[in-house]
Amino acid sequence: MTSSPGKKSALTWAVHLSVLFLVALWVFPTLGLFVSSFRTADQISTSGWWSSLGTQRRQVPPIRLSGQEEQRDGAYVISGNLFGGQGVTVSAWGTSSREPEAFEPGAVAELGDGVTLTVDDSGNFELKGPSSFGEGRLPRVFATATTPPEFTIDNYRNVLSGAGTGQSVGRAFLNTLTVAIPATVIPILIAAFAAYALAWMRFPGRALLIAAIVGLLVVPLQLALIPLLQFHNAIGVGKGYLGIWLAHTGFGLPLAIYLLRNYMVGLPRDIIENARVDGATDFQIFVKIILPLSFPALASFAIFQFLWTWNDLLVALVFLGTGNDQLVLTGTLVNLMGSRGGDWEILATSAFISIAVPLLVFFAMQRYLVRGLLAGSVK
C-alpha cells in the first residue's frame, strides 16, 4: 500500500482507530466503576454514572411529609423542607404515583376536606387544613428534582472497616498482599537462576529440560490442584501462606523460566565471554551482568505473575481456606455479591479497591512489558 509523502495510509488510520476503540473500551468501564464507588445507593439505582458529573434531573423516591403542627389564622399548618435543605431544586411535584409531575413549583394542590399542599422550587412545603391532623398519616410527595453533583467517601469507610457488610475488605486486602508479593518474588528468584543455567551453561540433558519446561506450559492448572494439596498435607505444609506460596511458585515457574531463558539467550555473547576471560565466576556473571541486563524480562514476568496471584480465587480457596480471616479479595467479592447483590455502592467500591493495586503495578512497569515479551523473538 502506497501513500503520498506527508499523508498517512488507510492502514495507519485503521490501526490508530482500533487502538483508540480498545482504549475507550477499557477506560470508560473503569472510570464508571470509579465514579460509582463514590455515589450513594439511591443515585446508582436512579441514574447512570455519567449523569453524576454534572447537575442531574431525576425523580426522587416518594417523601412522607412530617413536621410540627401549628396554628395560623385559624388553620392548622405543617411546614418544612422535603430534602432537609440540601440545595435541591424541584422542577415538578405531585401527590400520586400516577401523576408524579402534576404540579409546578408554587402551585396549590387540593387534597380534599379543605386540605391544601404547596411545594416551592426549593423543596419548602406547607400543608394546611381546617382541623388538626392528629396522629394520622400525612400525604406523600413525589418530586422531580434537579440536584448538584454529590459524592461520598462513606462507601470506602464501610467497605474497609466491614461496617454494615459483615465482610472486611481491608482484611482481605492485606491477605491478598501477603499472598501476591511473595508469590511474585519467589518464582522470579528461582527462575532467574534456572534461566541462566539453561541459556549459558553446558551440561547433559539441557535440551530435555527445556523441552519439559515448554511442555509444562500447556498443563492445566486444575489438573494439579488436588495432587499438590495432598502432597502439601503429606509433608506437613497443609493449608496456609507457605502452601499457597509454593503452589503459585510451582504454577508460575514454567512461564518464568521460558520467558527469562529466551531473553538471556539474546544477550551479547561477547560480554559474558569477556567476563569469563577476566576471571569472573558464573555467579558473578549472573549477579553483576545478567540480572541488570535482564530487568525488562524480569519486570514483564513480575507484571503477569502479580496480576495472576492478585486476581486468583481457585488456588486461594484450595490452599488457603474460606474463613473470613483467610479470604482474599476475590473471595470476599464473591461473598458480597451473594449476600448484598442489591447494594451496588458496596460492590462498586469493593471492585475498585480490588483493581487499584494491579492498575498501579501495570502502569508503573508497562514500559518493560513489550520489551520483555519480544526479547529473543527477533535476531
Last residue of a domain, one of 84, 112, 147: 147
pLDDT in tens, the chain (379 residues): 455 555 667 788 888 889 899 888 888 888 888 888 888 777 777 677 787 777 777 777 888 888 888 888 888 899 988 887 666 788 899 888 888 888 998 899 998 888 899 999 888 899 998 888 887 788 899 988 877 777 888 888 877 776 555 566 778 888 899 999 999 999 999 999 999 999 888 888 888 988 898 888 888 888 888 888 888 888 888 788 898 999 999 899 998 999 889 888 888 888 888 888 888 888 888 888 888 888 888 888 888 899 889 988 888 888 887 777 778 888 887 777 655 556 677 778 888 888 888 888 878 777 766 665 555 444 4
Q: Which H/E stretch holds residue 293?
A: helix 291-293
Residues 227 and 344 in one domain: yes
pLDDT at 188: 93
Kindly give, in sequence order, each residue whose CB lies less than 8 Å from that of residue 259, ignoring residues fewer than 6 positions away: 195, 297, 300, 301, 372, 373
Evaluate whether 82 touches 121 at the Cβ level (below 8 Å). no
3-class state of residue 76 by DSSP: strand
C-alpha cell at position 113 = 376536606
Last residue of a domain, one of 147, 181, 207: 147
State how far the Cα of 200 lies from the Cα of 198, in Å rounded to an integer: 6
Residues 118 and 172 in one domain: no
Last residue of a domain, one of 126, 147, 168: 147
HEC string of 101-134?
CCECCCCEEEEECCEEEEECCCCEEEEEECCCCC
Kindly give, in sequence order, each residue whose CB lies less than 8 Å from that of residue 332, ignoring residues fewer than 6 positions away: 167, 168, 169, 172, 350
The backbone torsions φ and ψ at residue 169, rounded to the nearest 5 degrees and listed phi first, read -70, -30
Residue 152 lies in a domain: no
Q: For residue 195, what are the domain limits?
A: 158-374
Per-residue pLDDT reduced to its tens digit, 292-319? 888 888 888 888 899 889 988 888 888 8
Residues 298 and 190 in one domain: yes
State how far the Cα of 350 lies from the Cα of 336, in Å rounded to an integer: 9
Residue 26 lies in a domain: no
Closest residue by Cα to residue 40 from 22, 17, 60, 18: 60
Residues 264 and 220 in one domain: yes
Residue 271 lies in a domain: yes
Residues 264 and 368 in one domain: yes
Residue 197 lies in a domain: yes
Residue 189 lies in a domain: yes
Residue 39 lies in a domain: no
Residues 186 and 107 in one domain: no
Q: Which H/E stretch holds residue 223?
A: helix 221-235
End-to-end CA distance of the chain: 26
Residues 256 and 368 in one domain: yes
The backbone torsions φ and ψ at residue 81, rounded to the nearest 5 degrees and listed phi first, read -125, 135
Kindly give, in sequence order, each residue whose CB lies less than 8 Å from that of residue 84, ignoring residues fewer than 6 positions away: none
Q: Provide the domain count of the chain.
A: 2
Residue 169 lies in a domain: yes
The identity of residue 116, as a single letter, is: T
pLDDT at 338: 58
pLDDT at 379: 42
Residue 8 lies in a domain: no
